[in-house]
Amino acid sequence: MTELDFPGRAAPVFFERETDSTNTRLKAMAAQAADGTVVAAGRQTVGRGRLGRSFASPEGGVYLSILFSPHSEPSRCLTMTPTTAVAVRQAIRRVCGVSPDIKWPNDLQLGGRKLCGILTESVVSCGEAKIVVGIGINLNTRPEDLPPELRSSACSVFSVTGHITQPKLLIRELVTSLDTMYARWLGDPHCALDEYRSACITPGRRVRRGNICSEALGVDRDFALLVRLDSGEIIPVTSGEVLDA
């Protein structure tokens, strides 16, 4: 692993061309690593996604994990992943000139296709819960580098804009944006709520949870999705599959 130069930043930012999974790497380091430590890679051989799925991580993408030790109760930390989605969106906008939509709970999309996924995991070290937030962005990824089954539902910044972006430029902006957002989040765990709501395209979509379908209405203060059941009852949900339009 090489350490990237980030003058004045308290925690290190490591980069490797290839790793198994930046989340796995950072979790293994968590006991000794400083708050804010970052591990980024240009390719992952065992990229992991939500719900135990794998995450295709070919060359051309940016794969980055950051460690947070907020000394906060677990319920407060639930707002951390959607807050990260907002920080990542800002970084992509600044560097690549495109503004991804947020698909609840924390995917970023362009034109209805997935551009970025986020996986948050916790790790307990010395009795203290730390959080590893992993971000996978299809930056210069070409469709043929993705598994065939993902080619119609995923996109990359390159496939949308036709422009190649230097991965390290985006890594720098991501780290800056995450640092700024984390400092704000420590003071107010709902700091990203307004921007999240305005970028979220899920209201109006159908949502399935098991056999139960509902219509998404909005996002509540805790970033839960407010849905209307077919019975008319409105409830907040924290999991579910958003069905495409």
List of residues contacting ligand BTN (CB under 6 A): 21-23, 44, 47-50, 53, 55, 63, 65, 107, 117-119, 134-136
Task: Supply the minimum distance, in Å, between the C-beta of residue 100 and ligand BTN.
Answer: 13
Instruction: Give the nearer residue to ligand BTN in terms of CB position, either 60 or 117.
Output: 117
Instruction: Give the nearer residue to ligand BTN in terms of CB position, either 114 or 192.
Output: 114
Radius of gyration (Cα) for the chain, nearest Å?
18
Task: Supply the minimum distance, in Å, between the C-beta of residue 135 and ligand BTN.
Answer: 6
Task: Supply the minimum distance, in Å, between the C-beta of residue 61 and ligand BTN.
Answer: 8
Task: Supply the minimum distance, in Å, between the C-beta of residue 48 and ligand BTN.
Answer: 4
Residue nearest to ligand BTN (CB): 117
Task: Name residues whose C-beta falls within 8 Å of residue 223's C-beta, 6 or more positions apart in sequence.
Answer: 78, 79, 82, 105, 193, 196
Instruction: Give the nearer residue to ligand BTN in terms of CB position, either 65 or 214.
Output: 65
Q: Which residue bears the tokens 């339009």?
A: 245
CA distances 195 to 5, 20, 83, 84, Å, are: 30, 33, 9, 12
Task: Supply the minimum distance, in Å, between the C-beta of residue 231 and ligand BTN.
Answer: 31
Instruction: Give the nearer residue to ligand BTN in terms of CB position, either 55 or 158.
Output: 55
Instruction: Give the nearer residue to ligand BTN in terms of CB position, either 47 or 60.
Output: 47
Task: Supply the minimum distance, in Å, between the C-beta of residue 153 and ligand BTN.
Answer: 11
Helices 80-96 + 167-187 axis angle, to 10:
140
User: Phi and psi (nearest 5°) for 164?
Assistant: -85, 135
Instruction: Give the nearer residue to ligand BTN in terms of CB position, either 64 or 219.
Output: 64
